[in-house]
Structure 1
Amino acid sequence: MTSRERTLLSALGISQFGDFIYLVAINVYIYRLTGSASAVAVLWIISPVVSLVIKSFAGSWVDRSDLRRLLIQTDLLRAFLIGILPFLPLSMLYIDLIALAVIKAVVEPATLTYVATLVPQTDRISFNAYRSLITSGAFLIGPALAGGLLYIASADLAIWLNAISFLVSAVLLMRLPHFSASIERGMKLQDVLSDWRLVYQFSKDARYMTGLYILAMLMMIATLALDTQEVVFLQRSIGLSETDYGLLMSLTGIGSVTGSWFVARYAKTLSVRTLLTIGYTFVAIGYMLYAVADSFSIVCTGFLLLGCFHAFAGTGFLTFQQTNIPLHLMGRFTSLYGVGVSLLQIIAIVSIGLLGDIWSIRFSTILFAGLLVIVTICFLGMVLLPRKQRYFTTEEVKEEQHA
């Protein structure tokens, strides 16, 4: 791995640790400030609602920007907006959180495109695996560190630590080269409409890649819906305690670190197709075990599978995107499809909650796990088509592949 790649990995990793600290701190902060569970629930709705609007044009902006400068500017702006959170009244606080959600909707496609631009094709599996390993470590350490800060200090300190992490990330990004996915500059309304048509045409031409992308997004939506009801399901249907849940989260984190380390260690010998096949197969099995579980041991097995094999699936799919979506379209493609994903996320989250109230949380969990398995089977059936092998190399995509 080159020094540039290590620097980028460090910048992304530091901000990731800050994010996990912030995730715990902001929930505690809002609840202490309002005493309302609904006020906390709003935090989970802000991001997908904002994405519905922003991602319709965010990709057009990203693909016409200097990616390094954009990432530095957004890191600095996030550091400022997070840093002032503890000083804001409740009404202004939610405005601040909406602004952060807007920035996040821009940062996601910008980061994906910048990584694909900076990291050579042959290093992408390894880079993405190490990035997954850092994320897994952040998942384990971040919340624990946040809990310690909340115990010995306050939520304010945890929030400010997140702001500092973005400042450090911005400084590291300043050491990296400038890149732009497109030579185009400026953005008008007709440019956005033209971009929509361009993505539509690319989707028609790249039907196989687009089909896999849509199926992967559907799997992600199903898993998100299942995750939102995790605590309720484990307590109501299986009778586990909050302590048991905390232990399960720790075991999931350990499994995630283990899986990420394995992928990073053997990145040179694991193909994208292998990562996708193994990863999504065992993720689906893990969720089905979780859905039908009636004891702690079965749930534990499911969570360990989820933690470990999410690393395989995530690394494989990220590399697949970076290889098969042209750089000049990557921001626009992922952002525009992100609009549909955000809408379906909201529908799925509301649906699984309503079904759990109307029938039972066990019924809604099994239903969504079953849908996940069906989509996974369709996805794997497409991945394993022998004549589509060329889509799973680490070589840059060729236009004729999309015929």
Structure 2
Amino acid sequence: MKQHLNEWKTPSILLGSLGIASLGDFIYLVAINIIVYQMTGSAAAVAGLWVIGPLTNIVTKFWTGSFIDYRSKKHIVLVTLIARALFIALIPLASNLLAVYAILVVLSVAKSFFGPALMTYITMLVSPHKRKRFNSLRSFSSSSAFIIGPAIGGTLILTTNISVTLWLTAVFYLLASLLLALLPETEKIEPTEIPALTFAQVARDFTVVYAFMAERKYVSAIYLGFLAVMLFSFAMDAQEVVFTQQVIGLTEVEYSLLISITGIGSVSGALLLSIFSNKVSIRYMIVIGLLMMTFGYVIYAFSWSFASVTVGFIILGFFNVFLNAGIATFYQNNVPVSVMGRVTSIFQLIQSVFQIFFILGIGLLADLVSLKLTIGALAVTMLVTAFLYAIAVLNPRYSGWYIEEVEIKEELTRG
């Protein structure tokens, strides 16, 4: 028993660090929207916040993987957390919107390094037989942050002001970095082994990613298929506020309550999954999560009242954690850590490109036809696509890719 607790000590510290950072993410999200709106009074300026991230990804993802894979993943994650703390602390000092946007670009660049480096570091730090449970617990902490973060942010803004709220958010990132600093280094990289970041090196790394995709077609297809299906989710989420208020007729108070209820659904799903994660295979986590989440979106798309849309949101919130934990574990088990930074960056680059065009296209279509018809068509198309994706995931020919039972049995034997 003591040995088992010691084995979970390191992952627990990592979970604590990521949980604190997630709280910072959601407090920051509330504060940055309000400060930009206060500075400009423009809804378009606030909407611009949602474009900065994908645009930055398109510019940076070409080469971030080449940088990450040859350097310490822990060091990159640590530096990006500290950088986010410092630049968030600078936002209240910005004198105009252009300065705020410049800081947000730097923050987006930091996040573009943070994601792939963190994915690789988790894979190296957390042993295979612990990954499902770790990803389930991580979903639980991020879902909890989804509820608690905005509440803390709103309370801080009401009791202090936006500036103090942002400075306290920076403290959350610093605390997360302090916890991360306690974790072990997972690799030893000599400075002489690090190649110069040149155009030729980036081009060679693209061929490495292409070779990986050619060799592991099924792994690539499953992950890219997941990103493709999630495009429908992103597009519907982008129209969520307008759809719930203009089509369903919810008030702002009802919409706020709806988001809180969705968060409670996510926390409930994540808590259940964290308890029973080793009882559910990766394939069924992905399939059940995706199909039920999509079913929730269909209910949402054809809702007529607060009660009906609440049912849809609870379902999609509850099962979204199954999908995310399952796909993360599948990815960690099947992408070699030696190329994970480059593969993750290129996949996220592809996602960002399609995300921008898809969301803009859906917004235009909603103006030309009707928002209700557009969201309904999106939900039905997503459901059909999800069924096709589920068939591919459950294909018995590829069951060998879902490595999990052996590690779990070995762990039980050791215990």
> Which residue of the partner structure matches residue 25 of structure 2?
19
Among 165, 171, 180, the alignment partner of 1:173 is 180
**Contact preservation (8 Å) 2:76, 2:113:** no
Give the residue type in structure 2 aligned to 1:386: P
Q: Match for 1:185 among 174, 188, 194?
A: 194
C-alpha contact (below 8 Å) 1:121/1:395 kept by paired residues: no
**Aligned residue in 2 for 1:104:** 111
> Which residue does the alignment assign to 2:317?
307
Deviation of the 1:181 alpha carbon: 9.3
1:377 aligned residue? 387
One-letter code of the match for 1:197? T
2:146 equivalent in structure 1:
139
Match of residue 120 from structure 2? 113
Q: Does 1:360 align with 2:366?
A: no
CA apart distance, 1:219? 1.7
* Pairing of 1:262-273 with structure 2 (within 5 A): 262-273=272-283
Q: Which amino acid aligns with 1:19?
A: D
Cα separation, partners in 2 of 1:103 and 1:2, compared to 1, 3 Å:
same
Kept after mapping to 1: 8 A contact 2:205/2:342: yes
Is 2:37 the counterpart of 1:31? Answer: yes
TM-aligned CA distance change 1:258 to 1:37, over 3 Å:
same
Query: Which of residues 241, 245, 255 in structure 2 aligns to 1:245?
Result: 255
| C-alpha displacement of 1:371 | 2.5
Number of the residue aligned with 1:400? none
Unaligned runs of 5+ in 2: 1-6, 408-415
Per-residue deviation at 1:121?
0.2
Aligned-partner SS, 2:226: helix
Change (3 A) 1:162 1:181: farther
Q: Deviations over 1:289-319 (max 9, x none)?
A: 1111122222111101011000100100000
Which among 326, 343, 355 is matched to residue 316 of structure 1?
326
- Matched position secondary structure for 2:277: coil
* Pick aligned residue for 1:152 from 146, 159, 181: 159
Q: Distance in 1 between matches of 2:395 and 2:122?
A: 28
Amino acid at match of 1:275: M
SS at match of 1:294: coil
Query: Which one of 219, 226, 229 corresponds to residue 219 of structure 1?
Result: 229
Q: Does 1:392 align with 2:402?
A: yes
Q: Specify which of 50, 60, 66 is matched with residue 60 of structure 1.
A: 66
Query: How large is the RMSD of aligned CA atoms in angstroms?
Result: 1.5
**Distance in structure 1 (CA, Å) of the matches to 2:345 and 2:377:** 29
How far apart, CA to CA, are the structure 2 residues paired with 1:305 and 1:299? 10
- Scaled by the length of structure 2, what TM-score is found? 0.93
Q: CA deviation at 1:239?
A: 1.0
Deviations 1:198-223 (A, max 9, x none): 11111011111111111100122211
Q: CA deviation at 1:27?
A: 0.1
**1:280–1:313 contact (8 Å) kept in structure 2:** yes
Which letter does structure 2 place at the counterpart of 1:173? L
Distance 2:278 2:394 in 1: 20
| Identity score, percent | 37
Q: 1:298 aligns with which of 308, 314, 318?
A: 308
- Provide the rounded CA distance (Å) in 2 between the counterparts of 1:311 and 1:11: 19
